[in-house]
Amino acid sequence: MSLARHLDPIVAIATAPGRGAVGIVRVSGRGLVALGQTLTGATLQPRRAHYGPFLAADGQPIDHGLALYFPAPHSYTGEDVLELQAHGGPVVLQLLLARCLEVGTHLGMRLAEPGEFTQRAFLNDKLDLAQAEAVADLIDASTEAAARSASRSLAGAFSHEIDALAERIVTLRMLVEATLDFPEEEIDFLEAADARGKLAAIQAAVAGVLARARQGALLREGLRVVLAGQPNVGKSSLLNALAGAELAIVTPIAGTTRDRVSETIQIEGVPIHITDTAGLRDDADASDEVERIGVARSWESIASADAIVFLHDLTRWDDPDYQAADAVIAQRLGVADPARLLQVFNKADSGRPLPPGRDGLCLSARTGEGLEALRHALLARAGWQAAPEGVFIARTRHVQALRLTAEHLAQAADHAAQADAALDLFAEELRLAHQALQQITGKFSADDLLGEIFGRFCIGK
């Protein structure tokens, strides 16, 4: 998205595609009073709903509905905004959209790009970047907890914490940089001002926000879990049990699952994206080409998973061939990343105990025994803690920016602790920490980052 075009008037259908009771066409730009008058045949009063016809070029009504006019700067984008609320038929909305473009030709009006309305709100200081991202996160929220957290971020909870941290860093920067003009007194001055104590307090505060941001990122992005194991160990049954629905076909025939089957559930508000995969066994033993492809896709899913549930069959544990095949799979999974592995033993309803010397969870996908323990284990593997009410939605880039801030503050602490008190380096690390922190709210952001962020929004928002 080009920032050079942000002065053009823009228009888009702001409601989802398809038929509905109401559809909205949204316009943003400068000098929309005349546009509203041409479209409605009336002078629109600010922030008051006007009911009447939406007029075509020949004066005939395209539809009847509500027109709302929000003059700048008191609007979502900070520009003049006109909203036409009509019946939600695709043809009606397309006619209204075409009419807006026709009337706005002399203004240079064009179709809005994805996220451009919210981008203008950011550029016009109606929202900071974290709040703007929260708009998309609120729309995309897949759980109630994620929606509530996104709403808090949109209201500014996350931004306020970041701004407060930034202000504390700036205050310390001013203190340190001021002493650079008085080198003969700098060490005593900083000691008297407790600069290192202030820095330690800032580091602790950043660590706290980082921990909550990790929780917020997990609420937004969820945890990708893959069910892996040999054929017929109960992976599909476990998926169905966790989802509470018959999503995957379950039969006693090995190799029933030929391709990946995915479902998203929520545990304590955290989205868990579970993928059931084809049973793992040597390609040479696979019965046909379809299953070989399925096994290859299983390994692809395993490679990108956040957590791997390695499922074992208690009823076959005494079979030497089964154990040998399990050992081959375990070796390959362990090489991938042992920290992601969760050992789970299925068919506990058979009465078989956990094999000697083995650690893991015992459960029964058929009866539901042990499922709650598995749910808690998955949350623990993700690093989730019971969410306090103040958790805000966050993204991976926010977490990375906070980590970078913490790293620069740690470097600053090292310089401050040196006997010769390298204050120039101390000040530089504080500046870099401040700069990293400001990336979150967009006060220090490259244009390509903005294009990447807003390009993922839906058109009309």
Q: Tell whether 124 is in a known binding site.
A: no
- pLDDT > 70: percent of the chain: 84
Question: Is the pLDDT score of 446 beyond 90?
Answer: no
| pLDDT score recorded for residue 258 | 45
Confidence of residue 253 (pLDDT cuts 50, 70, 90): very low
Question: Is the pLDDT score of 22 beyond 90?
Answer: yes
Of 29-33, 262-266, 383-387, 398-402, the least confident: 383-387
Which residues neighbour 95 within 8 Å (Cβ) at sequence distance 6 or greater? 56, 62, 63
Q: Bridge-partner residues for 78, per DSSP?
A: none
Q: Tell whether 251 is in a known binding site.
A: yes
Q: Tell whether 431 is in a known binding site.
A: no
Question: Is the pLDDT score of 101 beyond 90?
Answer: yes
Read off the pLDDT of residues 109-168 as tens digits, 9 standing for 90 and up: 999 999 899 999 999 999 999 999 999 888 888 788 888 888 999 989 999 999 999 999
Confidence of residue 449 (pLDDT cuts 50, 70, 90): low
Q: Tell whether 142 is in a known binding site.
A: no
Coil, strand or helix at 147: helix
**Choice between 305 and 453, residue whose per-residue pLDDT is larger:** 305
Q: Tell whether 277 is in a known binding site.
A: yes
At position 181, the amino acid (one-letter code) is: D
Read off the pLDDT of residues 36-91 as tens digits, 9 standing for 90 and up: 999 999 999 999 999 999 999 999 999 999 999 999 999 999 999 999 999 999 99
Short-list 361, 296, 378, 299, CA closest to 332: 299
Q: Tell whether 234 is in a known binding site.
A: yes
What CATH homologous superfamily does 3-126 map to?
Probable tRNA modification gtpase trme; domain 1 (3.30.1360.120)
Please tell me the distance from the alpha carbon of residue 423 to that of residue 430, in angstroms, as a whole number: 10
Question: Is the pLDDT score of 405 beyond 50?
Answer: yes
CATH class name, domain 222-382: alpha beta
Q: Give the CA distances from residue 158 to residues 199, 386, 395, in Å, rounded to whole numbers and listed in that order.
A: 21, 18, 11
Which two three-digit tokens encode residue 91?
């043809």
Domain map (residue ranges) of the chain: 3-126, 134-218+395-442, 222-382
Q: Tell whether 443 is in a known binding site.
A: no
Q: Tell whether 353 is in a known binding site.
A: no
Average model confidence (pLDDT) for the chain?
83
Q: Tell whether 321 is in a known binding site.
A: no
Q: Give the CA distances from residue 232 to residues 56, 146, 191, 294, 322, in Å, rounded to whole numbers and listed in that order.
A: 64, 35, 68, 14, 11
Q: Tell whether 366 is in a known binding site.
A: yes
Q: Tell whether 257 is in a known binding site.
A: yes
| pLDDT score recorded for residue 255 | 45
Q: Tell whether 151 is in a known binding site.
A: no
Q: Tell whether 62 is in a known binding site.
A: no
For residues 20-26, give the mean pLDDT. Answer: 93
Of 148-162, 290-304, 389-403, the least confident: 290-304
Q: Tell whether 71 is in a known binding site.
A: no
Q: Tell whether 233 is in a known binding site.
A: yes
Coil, strand or helix at 128: coil
Q: Tell whether 262 is in a known binding site.
A: no
Q: Tell whether 364 is in a known binding site.
A: yes
Q: Tell whether 349 is in a known binding site.
A: yes
Q: Tell whether 52 is in a known binding site.
A: no
Q: Tell whether 380 is in a known binding site.
A: no
The secondary structure element, H or E, covering residue 436 is helix 423-441
CATH class name, domain 134-218+395-442: mainly alpha
pTM for this structure?
0.74
Q: Bridge-partner residues for 346, per DSSP?
A: 313
